[in-house]
Structure 1
Amino acid sequence: MRDPLQWYESHLTIGDYVELHEFVFHHVGADSSDRHDIYQLKMDEIRRIMDYKHNIRNMSVIAHVYHGKSTLTDSLVAAAGIIAQEVVGDVRMTDTRADEVERGMSKSTGISLLYKMSDASLKSYKGERNGNEYLINLIDSPGHVDFSSEVTAALCITDGALVVVDCVEGVCVQTETVLRQALGERIRPVLTVNKMDRCFLELQVDGEEAYHMFQSIIDKLNCIMATYEDNTHLGDVMVYPEKGTVAFSSGLHGWGFTLKSFAKMYHSKFGVSESKMLERLWGDNFFDPATKKWTTKNTGSTSCKRGFVQFCYEPIKQIINICVNDQKENLWPILRKLGVTMKPSDKDLRGKQLMKRVMQTWLPASTALLEMVILHLPSPSTAQRYRVDNLYEGPLDDAYANAIRNCDPEGPLMLYVSKMIPASDKGGFLAFGRVFSGKVSSRRKVRIMGPYYVPEGEKDLYVKSVQRVFIWMGMGKGKKQVAVEEGVTCGNIVALVGLDQCITKNATLTNEKEVRAHPIRSMKYSASPVIHVDVECKDKSDLPKLVEGLKRLSRSDPMVTCTTTDTCGKHTVSGAGEHYLEKCLKILQDEFMGGNEIIKSKFFVSFRETILERSSCTVTITPHNKLYMEVSPFEEGLSKAIDDGRIGPCTHSNILVDEFGWDKESASNICAFGPETTGPNLLVDMRPKYKTQDVVKNYMVACFQSAAKEGPLAGEPMRGVRFDVCLLDGRQLIPMTRRDLCDSLLNSSPRLIEPVYFVELQAPQKALGRIFHELYGRRGCILEEMQSQEGSPLYTIKANLPVIESIGFSETLRDATFGQVQCVQCVFDHWEMISSDPLEAGSLASKLVADIRVRKGLKKEIPDTFEDKV
């Protein structure tokens, strides 16, 4: 008898591979090591396709939380034979931790899939290709807004995005957020309207109502894309069912379709081309069986129905109802007409299990989605032509930009590491990123340019050898990474071992001798770390483990920051939201500290300090010094312009004069932004030029940075304050200037500024009263209340909520509504001034300042003045 593995290796197609995979796992009972050995047999094919840049698709799956991304991704993974069709929707292959499965929220995970398309499906494809096999590098990104940084890390190394929208809940806040991020990175989107099973099993809506629900989702999504699209480079990015860029799916049950699926079934019956039939299955196209004619208006006849309803929706509804009601005698004749062949073992299934298997066999989600991805998302070769000027920081005509633009495998190596992933050995990290040009291979030295690297400088620059190169096959137990000894060429997504000592969060890699290369542009995150928690060891002897664990935590997540206060030794973890920090602390304790217990403080929020009025010139005089200082509040919108990067150390004069009314002299005399050299506060040197001394200015800037970092009210950073130095003369500058700055601020009607969330949640109408009560009780402001979409039983509430009031909000709301609100999405929206006076006893601002000062170990009362008595 022949060796089955030998026969497999030389003869099996992708489809045969899937069937063998299912047989081994479900009938023979192979363990995880066998699973890896079987997959390893296909690595030669995967490695071969990696060299065909036209046959690669790098894509992210993006959506609002709980819209079914990870469940839907199982169908795509099953098409590559990594999991069996029977377990689609249950495995959640791209989840990395048990708590992710439990809460239905996951971090981004990459996986490489090999897929073979039929010749018939590729008939209309006009792009370049090498054969019918395609490599899909897929990243399943998180939907919860707290993990927006993970979405950013995924988008910057992919070229296309599969947008998943729940057909009942519709387009939500995070849908818009991730779509805006994608278009900003010049990522081309396609759409799948997911959870279609809810229409048939839960809501039981009729076809016409369902059509309008789907049309509403597509219109809202296209409206968002019209707002943020980049026509110059991407062209038309809107999605249209009749053009094949919209799919309809049920991730839980593993079935889905595009209109092309049904156009193939019906076009010969009506004697028209597939493309013509495709157009008739969407929009105002109605068919009357009585007259056998198509019209653009409903004739009013009971038999006259919209093409989509009559030929797509109702046949699915009929089969689902037959399966659920166990009417098998009616099922088999229909399946024979459709050409659907069931396995003998499947015919014993009943109810929803039968329905799942029938629908998977008739309309496999993987076929519809992967064909849509391959036909309508760009290859690296195509995408890098228009993405290069968004990616590369250097001259767009140098050798490195040209290599990226042409996706040149023979050009210099340009690789961007978007995130660091903890290795399974609990020690090092793997650098996860995308090869944009050239080739990366094991035991090769690379030049590492970190996020703070400046061309022709030595800061944040390293040379290190890559130990090993991996293809990513998911994470977690039983999910493997496969080494590639020959190296990986441009257009592919890889994981590298051996660079974790040099890369903190992200970096650009090039060849060792490419000293003229500029880095790839660092990512811009849509979220901000506005919630914090202090941590300490329960057992003081575990302090070294805590310090090391915090370093590893900071490295493992693009957004989380871990800081230590020098004066008191406090360790603070900062993140984008409450749920985000809870997960970070769990990872810190369970994975990075070996289970050793930590003690955490209550969550707290960072505030900002500002002023309302312009101060008169204040004078500080000592035997050796004289200082005249004025402080004034910013003009409206100036702080945001600095936050958005429109105004910075290199670009400010013209915008300040034209938009904010500054005089040219003041605009040209800005000598510092602060805090941290980029913050929304300005130091303006208004002294006569003949008195300006570089040494004096350096001291003055250092004092300004100190004051901008810690304001006089509660030691919080300043925001929106202009500091004018009118006259400065003498010695002992640092202590005097610091005192004078703080005193000027206290005498200019100081105020506290708090961060504010934009909140979106969905709930049935009967829960709205309790939701409003909770929001108003936490100083919330209702912005909008509306039905999620036509036909949906849910209502969407949009509101603003102070971040400090959001702590515990989700749990309280879930209890108050008896579990009817499952997910509250809170996105940082803006900074808002608290109207009350912090110097007035008993005011809200006064209480907040007192709490902050106590937490920081300061005296509870604000000092009356910071001036020395002379």
Structure 2
Amino acid sequence: MPIVTTAQLVKLQARTDHIRNICILAHVDHGKTTLSDSLLASNGIISSKLAGKVRYLDSREDEQQRGITMEASGISLYFKILREAAEGGNYTKSDEYLINLIDAPGHVDFASEVSTASRLCDGALILVDVVEGVCTQTHTVLRQAWVEKVNPILVLNKVDRLVTELKLTPSEAYVHINKILEQVNAIMGTFYAGDVMEEETRKHDAEKERLTKKEGNENSDIESSSSETILEERDDSNIYFTPDSGNVVFASALDGWAFRVEQFAQIYAAKLGIKENILRKVLWGDYYLDPKTKRLLQYRHLKGRQLKPMFVHHIEKIEKIVKSLNLKILPRDKRSKDTRSLLISIFNQWLPLSTALPSPVAAQPVRLPRMLGALPTSHAEPKTGFEQDLYNCNYSDSSPVIAYVSKMCAVFSSQLPENRRKQWTAEELRERGRQKRGELLLASNNRQGISLTDTSSDSNNEYQKIPISEDSNVINENEESQPKETFIGFARLYSGTIRVGQKLYVLGPKYDPSFPDLHCSEVTIESLYLMMGRELESLQEVPAGNVFGVGGLEGHILKNGTLSSTKEFKSLAGVTTETSPIVRVALEPEDPSEINKLIEGLRLLNQADPCVEVLVQETGEHVILTAGEVHLEVSKKDFDLRERFAKIEIQVSPPIVPFRETIVSVQEQNKELSTQHGVVTVSTPNKYCVIKLRAVPLPSNVTSFLNQHVITIKSILDERQQRNKVESQITDDYEDSLKEVANKEERVLDNEEFLKNLESEFSKAVEKEIWKDVVDKWRKNSSESKNSDLPLQIENDKDLNKQSSSVLTIRDFEENIHTGFQLATKSGPLCAEPMMGVAYFLEDFKISIPEENIDVTEMRSKVGGQVITTMRDACRQSFLEWSPRLMLAMYSCDIQATTETLGRVYGVISRRRGRIISEEMKEGTPFFQICALLPVFESFGFADEIRKRTSGAASPQLIFNGFEMLDQDPFWVPTTEEELEDLGEKSDRENLAKKYMESVRIRKGMSTDKKIVEHAEKQRTLKKK
């Protein structure tokens, strides 16, 4: 295959309708990088024999060592397709296409890279291993494609394994593939149903609000019913994968072949006398061909005859395919016992990898409304000239430049095109040789004392010096002065044409056109690059619709942002990520004098990795948060921080895992006790204020509801805080919440709807005596605090608002009470971890200040600090009045294992204190699908142990699944006679909750019950050396 030049690719960048921006998404080890290699081989970048072995787009050293992709990388490819002429059957017309391909990781720890890749592309190849079937990450990437409005193509990869490994017959393979299609389509159906229900709820709420405002409108009912009818009749056929529609590809990426049903339809249309468009629809499914009448039959018309489906009957015959296509198959390939070599020789000549996906012109009107903040199911029309240019992908000079930078890639400065040594041509090498020979001749003549003035002048005229050596010296000097790492923006241009030297505005994720001076900076485009995997090629300009690299953004964009030629355009929404960082470690340099290098390295790591979070704790420790154990190892030691950014030796603390503290309800038989349980009365040290507080465990359904609507709670509280502030003084917290709302796929409820739903959750617990007065007070408070602008509103109770002997009231200490409450809930009494599932009620607050202390301001400042600490201590004491519990961070663990390794997998999970949720055997395969819950605290080293115990046959996928209560009291000791008899006074059984609690307390420097000296009276014999 001839090598495609850069000039050919640059020429195609201006043909917007012939550009395809594609990303490859799949579960880990389903063949993404192998498929990329096969496509690269078609452009002559690598040999076709090395496809799947080179892993060309895995440019990092640790990617090659581990055999998994960790960073999304892009490359531009040339593709030429032959189309059949209108009159005859000769392929005379050819079209050229530019394929901007992005290979994304499949491991769950690097899901953020999938988000950045999908945002830049218009289409996605969703790979599924036909043997392993639909896995955890398959569901995740399908959802990512749905959210980003990316047009997916389903690639059923490793079809050869059905024959070579599972030994299935053609009919069995057809049934097996059909089941995989049904599973994928079922997932797509759930996404569609969720959007439809959300839109129906939204329309219902809008209609209800309109009817409330206009009660006298007679046509309202008719309009409402018509809108619901339109909603129900919406076509959903285009969201499913069916081979006859052309969005399903059967492939073997390792062998370098793929086909679609329509290609067989072209072959058999003339032979069977059936139109090609009809044959394309019946080549997949329960359709059969009557060999006598040449008629198509459905299953119900077979009448007991054993006929093969059309797909099985017409695709299995190798000899017919070879003869009809005039393929050259060597006799030694036919006689070979290796069936794979025969398949490769056939399919490589006939079925090149190719798919049909939308161009930027067709894709941007579908995707951009979502990015601009429109509702997921709405069909928005362009409202301004800017949006019109965006939707049309207009690259004229009059169109504004709008580009989205999805991430910043760290590149070695020596790899940049401007810093690479110039490759000499043959003519330049010959000229340099003549120049050197002339200089040597002149030097030798001068040593002999011979005057060669004329000769030297002639030689100087004949051999004009080429400033190659000088240029190379300049390059070396520049390399030494430049930093080792340079950040290149990985971007997609939606409108206009971007050029080198052009001045643009960088709009941050928090940018609002109403406040053009905030979160906006001006930058000059220093360089543009064509992404070619491991290499970059310099460009002078890039038209709309292309994926490219841009230099000069360092210091302006941290992780992602928008480039715009105008401040009137709003920033494009942030990417949606399916994982959040949960594992954290503290870092410090081995040499304390290198702390500045560590800080600089952390800054670079934070910019280079979209999922890493870097923070400094109150103790001064530098902490990084990562998505999982593999992500942590890659970030801190194997490559990024230690060897690339900081370049120093680093001490790493054991992983810091978050916990939550909660309390459990009293048994049903103790109803009288439960109403008074958790009540404490505490006074300030100066005895001026007395606080009576009660703690109550929240019902599990209320806790779940609050966890599901965290963003709604944040938006409501932030809206109250900002209501009376000047618009220009928008705080970062409020903007962060708005950004978070945009990123999460969660319907944000308004204030009234949220309160109504929360009240209904409380009402479900009314049958318990302990919650009877809670619901009553909640109704009272929610109705009285609708117009409140305060983050915390004290109850309007007679006992709390009655005037005391002094002029100070509870209102004067409202902020102090709120601060003490926040301190207590943020740092619980067990191990200083946040509380969860606990409700506090301020039963009484008494103020008794002597009359001689009449200075209100002075007394408020003196008493205020004591109120904070007293409120904090009261919350902790009332918490401990109940039976406390720890809540563990949990991973959802998905493992595929064979029958031989199933027992070993169970053994590893049980040793790690995990719990099996489900176990299913995949029909037609030897694999079991195991779903388990595993504590994050016990997960470190879990993947390596699983692979060792199963000899690499099983590999787990760990996804954060929230918190789960460990039903064990950390303070439990044997008390009854039976417990003392069985366990003894010190309880020989290990208290797991106490173990976790003490490990956290030791890490935080808190006191524990462990004794340094257990038995001081015992003799200690020291061995003399």
| 1:390 maps onto 2:370 in alignment | yes
Of 634, 648, 667, which aligns to 1:583?
634
Q: Distance in 2 between matches of 1:121 and 1:218?
A: 33
Of 512, 520, 526, which aligns to 1:461?
520
Match in the other structure for 2:970: 838
Q: 1:116·1:133 contact (CA, 8 Å) conserved in 2?
A: yes
Match in the other structure for 2:707: 640
Of 833, 854, 861, which aligns to 1:716?
833
Question: Quick one: structure 1 residues 710 and 417, their matched pair in 2 at CA, closer, same or farther if it must change by over 3 Å?
Answer: farther
Q: Distance in 1 between matches of 2:335 and 2:649?
A: 51
Q: Where do 1:127-276 residues align within 5 Å?
A: 132-229=95-192, 230=195, 235=236, 236-276=238-278
Displacement of 1:46 after TM fit? 3.0
Q: Distance in 2 between matches of 1:357 and 1:687?
A: 80
Displacement of 1:255 after TM fit? 0.7
| 1:362 maps onto 2:349 in alignment | yes
Question: Quick one: structure 1 residues 43 and 138, their matched pair in 2 at CA, closer, same or farther if it must change by over 3 Å?
Answer: closer
Displacement of 1:792 after TM fit? 0.9
Q: 1:647·1:655 contact (CA, 8 Å) conserved in 2?
A: no
Q: Distance in 2 between matches of 1:441 and 1:345?
A: 56
Match in the other structure for 1:115: 79
Question: Quick one: structure 1 residues 697 and 736, their matched pair in 2 at CA, closer, same or farther if it must change by over 3 Å?
Answer: closer
Q: Where do 1:719-798 residues align within 5 Å?
A: 719-722=836-839, 730-732=860-862, 733=864, 736-748=867-879, 749=882, 750-788=884-922, 790-798=923-931
Q: Distance in 2 between matches of 1:802 and 1:97?
A: 31
Deviates more, 1:185-194 or 1:828-837: 828-837
Question: Quick one: structure 1 residues 760 and 412, their matched pair in 2 at CA, closer, same or farther if it must change by over 3 Å?
Answer: same
**Which residue identity is paired with 2:531?**
W
Report the structure, 1 or 2, having the larger helix content: 2
Match in the other structure for 1:4: none
Q: Distance in 1 between matches of 2:657 and 2:635?
A: 17
| 1:420 maps onto 2:408 in alignment | yes
SS at match of 1:792: coil
Match in the other structure for 2:1007: 859
Match in the other structure for 1:40: 6
* CA deviation vs aligned residue, 1:172-223 (integer Å, no higher than 9, x gap): 0110011112212222211010011212222221111111111111100000
Match in the other structure for 2:959: 827
Question: Quick one: structure 1 residues 594 and 731, their matched pair in 2 at CA, closer, same or farther if it must change by over 3 Å?
Answer: closer
SS at match of 1:432: strand
Q: Distance in 1 between matches of 2:386 and 2:822?
A: 37
**Unpaired segments of 5 or more residues in structure 1?**
1-18, 22-37, 124-129, 320-332, 863-870
Match in the other structure for 2:781: 665
**Which residue identity is paired with 2:535?**
K
SS at match of 1:418: strand
* CA deviation vs aligned residue, 1:819-849 (integer Å, no higher than 9, x gap): 321x101111222122223344664222212
* CA deviation vs aligned residue, 1:470-527 (integer Å, no higher than 9, x gap): 22111xxxx32222212x233222221111212111112222xx33332111123211
Match in the other structure for 1:816: 949
| 1:309 maps onto 2:312 in alignment | yes
Of 584, 599, 602, which aligns to 1:550?
602
Displacement of 1:110 after TM fit? 1.6
Q: 1:213·1:791 contact (CA, 8 Å) conserved in 2?
A: yes
**Which residue identity is paired with 2:12?**
I
**Which residue identity is paired with 1:659?**
N
Displacement of 1:693 after TM fit? 11
Q: Distance in 2 between matches of 1:532 and 1:543?
A: 19
Q: 1:193·1:249 contact (CA, 8 Å) conserved in 2?
A: yes
* CA deviation vs aligned residue, 1:658-689 (integer Å, no higher than 9, x gap): 2110537338749999xxx9xxxx85543689
**Which residue identity is paired with 1:446?**
L
Q: Distance in 2 between matches of 1:451 and 1:497?
A: 19
Displacement of 1:709 after TM fit? 3.8
Question: Quick one: structure 1 residues 711 and 404, their matched pair in 2 at CA, closer, same or farther if it must change by over 3 Å?
Answer: farther
**Which residue identity is paired with 2:964?**
E
Displacement of 1:69 after TM fit? 0.8
Q: Distance in 1 between matches of 2:85 and 2:793?
A: 65
Question: Quick one: structure 1 residues 406 and 626, their matched pair in 2 at CA, closer, same or farther if it must change by over 3 Å?
Answer: farther
Displacement of 1:270 after TM fit? 0.4
**Unpaired segments of 5 or more residues in structure 2?**
88-92, 197-230, 375-379, 414-483, 666-676, 720-748, 760-777, 802-807, 848-859, 974-989, 1011-1025
Displacement of 1:755 after TM fit? 1.7
Question: Quick one: structure 1 residues 343 and 717, their matched pair in 2 at CA, closer, same or farther if it must change by over 3 Å?
Answer: farther
Of 795, 811, 814, which aligns to 1:686?
795
Q: Where do 1:403-552 residues align within 5 Å?
A: 403-409=389-395, 410-425=398-413, 426-457=484-515, 458-474=517-533, 479-486=534-541, 488-511=542-565, 514-552=566-604
Question: Quick one: structure 1 residues 381 and 722, their matched pair in 2 at CA, closer, same or farther if it must change by over 3 Å?
Answer: farther
Question: Quick one: structure 1 residues 595 and 78, their matched pair in 2 at CA, closer, same or farther if it must change by over 3 Å?
Answer: same
Displacement of 1:237 after TM fit? 1.1
Deviates more, 1:637-646 or 1:390-399: 390-399
SS at match of 2:554: coil
Question: Quick one: structure 1 residues 490 and 696, their matched pair in 2 at CA, closer, same or farther if it must change by over 3 Å?
Answer: farther
Q: 2:403·2:494 contact (CA, 8 Å) conserved in 1?
A: yes
SS at match of 2:120: coil
Deviates more, 1:598-607 or 1:390-399: 390-399
Q: Distance in 1 between matches of 2:641 and 2:118?
A: 29
Q: Distance in 1 between matches of 2:685 and 2:502?
A: 62
Q: 1:657·1:663 contact (CA, 8 Å) conserved in 2?
A: no
Aligned residues: 779
Question: Quick one: structure 1 residues 342 and 645, their matched pair in 2 at CA, closer, same or farther if it must change by over 3 Å?
Answer: farther
**Which residue identity is paired with 1:715?**
A
Match in the other structure for 2:983: none
* CA deviation vs aligned residue, 1:411-455 (integer Å, no higher than 9, x gap): 333322211110222322111122223332222222222234455
Q: 2:888·2:936 contact (CA, 8 Å) conserved in 1?
A: yes
Match in the other structure for 1:278: 280
Q: Distance in 2 between matches of 1:133 and 1:538?
A: 56
Of 621, 636, 639, which aligns to 2:684?
621
Question: Quick one: structure 1 residues 82 and 703, their matched pair in 2 at CA, closer, same or farther if it must change by over 3 Å?
Answer: farther
**Which residue identity is paired with 2:958?**
C
**Which residue identity is paired with 1:134?**
Y
Q: 1:670·1:683 contact (CA, 8 Å) conserved in 2?
A: no
Q: Distance in 2 between matches of 1:432 and 1:698?
A: 46
* CA deviation vs aligned residue, 1:115-155 (integer Å, no higher than 9, x gap): 222223999xxxxxx99322222221111111111111112
Deviates more, 1:779-788 or 1:253-262: 779-788
Q: 1:763·1:794 contact (CA, 8 Å) conserved in 2?
A: yes
Displacement of 1:631 after TM fit? 5.2
Q: 1:672·1:701 contact (CA, 8 Å) conserved in 2?
A: no
Q: 1:234·1:386 contact (CA, 8 Å) conserved in 2?
A: no
SS at match of 1:648: helix
* TM-score normalized by the length of structure 2: 0.70
- Percent identity among equivalent residues? 32
Q: Distance in 2 between matches of 1:716 and 1:670?
A: 32
SS at match of 1:782: strand
TM-align CA RMSD = 3.6
Q: 2:810·2:845 contact (CA, 8 Å) conserved in 1?
A: no
Match in the other structure for 2:611: 559
Deviates more, 1:155-164 or 1:638-647: 638-647
Q: Distance in 2 between matches of 1:616 and 1:57?
A: 66
* CA deviation vs aligned residue, 1:257-288 (integer Å, no higher than 9, x gap): 11112111111110112122222321112235
Bigger Rg, which one = 2
* CA deviation vs aligned residue, 1:690-718 (integer Å, no higher than 9, x gap): 99999966666655554444333322233
Deviates more, 1:599-608 or 1:632-641: 632-641
Q: Distance in 1 between matches of 2:689 and 2:965?
A: 35
**Which residue identity is paired with 2:128?**
V
Q: 1:256·1:363 contact (CA, 8 Å) conserved in 2?
A: no
